[in-house]
């Protein structure tokens, strides 16, 4: 069986992180790595009590946290086959992880995005600014890089060797789109599966605030265009 490691960036998610970990199908996950991104609550304690490996990354940023998770894996003694990225706020349904990894384990795809726009969404879970942002970003990717995505969702699976080949760098909200654009440019076999999405537990850090939405939107567009020239 393929070895899958789950990376969960977490910033002050003490109310949700335990539930996220509990719902991950353990037969599919060799290790769950929670990257505690400078939380001031008991996120780290809850995560380790729930059976996850907890690593600390003091520098803020979603991408920074994901990079720290990858560094931990690089320095560990084993080689995973697949990495799953998952948010800590319990918006996603971790039990759907098997749908994300089977296209990879069957050898058909390298990158599988969990799409919330083609999945079942609780009303109000994806805010209008996120829907519009996703629409614009995915149309631009189709236009410029000729791969058809419907979402930049955080819940995704990728072959570990392919992930390393992407040389990921974004330290903030551009992380998800950077992965998709680079995968498209490199000709990775990309697909999407529908995933369900519900309202988060706890306080929003990105799309729930005006500042977060604007910053994320600008960053995403920037990443999409910048990859044309690199």
Residues engaged in binding ligand GTP (CB under 6 A): 9-11, 13, 37, 60-62, 65, 87-89, 91, 200, 204-208
Give the footprint of Mg ion on residues 149-208 (CB under 5 A).
200
Between 37 and 138, name the residue whose CB sits nearer to ligand GTP: 37
Q: With CB cut-offs between 5 and 8 Å by kind, which of ligand GTP, Mg ion, none does residue 208 bind?
A: ligand GTP
Least spacing, CB of residue 202 vs ligand GTP, in Å = 8
Q: With CB cut-offs between 5 and 8 Å by kind, which of ligand GTP, Mg ion, none does residue 207 bind?
A: ligand GTP
Give the footprint of Mg ion on residues 55-114 (CB under 5 A).
89, 91
Q: Which two tokens stand for residue 222?
A: 């920037």
Least spacing, CB of residue 208 vs ligand GTP, in Å = 4
Q: With CB cut-offs between 5 and 8 Å by kind, which of Mg ion, ligand GTP, none does residue 9 bind?
A: ligand GTP
């Amino acid at each position: 069986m393929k070895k899958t490691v789950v990376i969960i960036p977490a910033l002050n998610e003490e109310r949700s992180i335990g539930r996220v970990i509990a719902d991950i199908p353990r037969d599919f996950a060799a290790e769950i790595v929670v990257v505690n991104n400078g939380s001031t609550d008991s996120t780290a304690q809850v995560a380790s009590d729930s059976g996850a490996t907890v690593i600390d990354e003091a520098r803020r940023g979603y991408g920074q946290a994901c990079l720290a998770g990858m560094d931990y894996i690089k320095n560990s003694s084993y080689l995973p086959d697949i990495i799953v990225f998952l948010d800590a706020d319990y918006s996603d349904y971790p039990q759907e992880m098997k749908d994300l990894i089977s296209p990879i384990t069957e050898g058909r795809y390298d990158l599988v995005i969990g799409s919330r726009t083609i999945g079942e969404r609780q009303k109000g879970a994806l805010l209008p600014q996120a829907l519009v942002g996703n629409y614009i970003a995915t149309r631009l990717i189709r236009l410029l890089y000729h791969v058809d995505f419907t979402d930049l969702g955080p819940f995704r699976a990728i072959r570990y060797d392919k992930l390393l080949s992407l040389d990921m760098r974004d330290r903030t909200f551009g992380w998800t789109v950077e992965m998709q654009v680079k995968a498209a440019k490199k000709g990775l076999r990309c697909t999407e599966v529908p995933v369900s999405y519900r309202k988060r537990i706890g306080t929003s850090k990105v799309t729930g605030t005006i500042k977060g939405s604007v910053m994320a939107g600008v960053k995403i567009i920037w990443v999409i265009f910048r990859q044309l020239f690199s």
